């Protein structure tokens, strides 16, 4: 499945596996809640589980892979979000780094 523009949303967490990169993406709202440490508050235990689930799945994906992929944990407006944008632009699909966004 390819990353669609509609998949990137402030209230979503995405797990993207491109074989050489495994990316956990946090939308703007989720990233802000994380920054405010909601996951450390017992009242938000479900949010903590929501944050941990893609991390655990990413570890499982990478466990037996060779070559070992790069793991990227990024936020919507963070510096490492380029990993999501490049895939969305078609870089891994043959469209080149400056493919149609």
pLDDT at 5 over 90: no
Any idea which residue has 């508050």 for tokens?
41
32 falls in which pLDDT band (50, 70, 90)? very high
DSSP tag of 29: H
pLDDT, one tens digit per residue, over 11-28 is 999 999 989 989 999 999
Region of residue 37 (left: phi > 0; alpha: psi -120 to 50; beta: else): left
| Every domain of the chain and the residues it spans | 5-93
CATH of 5-93, one of 3.40.50.12780, 3.40.50.2300, 1.10.150.120, 3.40.20.10: 3.40.20.10
Q: Are 46 and 55 in contact (CB under 8 A)?
A: no
What is the CB neighbour count within 10 angstroms for residue 27? 19
84 falls in which pLDDT band (50, 70, 90)? confident
Region 77-93: what's the mean pLDDT? Answer: 63
3-state secondary structure of 78: coil
């Amino acid at each position: 499945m390819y990353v669609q523009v509609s998949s990137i949303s402030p209230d979503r967490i995405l797990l993207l596996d491109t074989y050489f990169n495994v990316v956990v993406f946090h939308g703007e709202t989720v990233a802000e809640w994380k920054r405010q440490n909601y996951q450390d508050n017992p009242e938000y235990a479900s949010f903590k589980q929501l944050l941990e689930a893609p991390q655990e799945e990413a570890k499982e994906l990478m466990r037996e892979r060779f070559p070992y992929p790069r793991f990227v944990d990024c936020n919507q407006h963070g510096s490492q979000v380029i990993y999501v944008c490049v895939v969305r632009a078609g870089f891994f699909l043959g469209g080149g780094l400056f493919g149609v966004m």
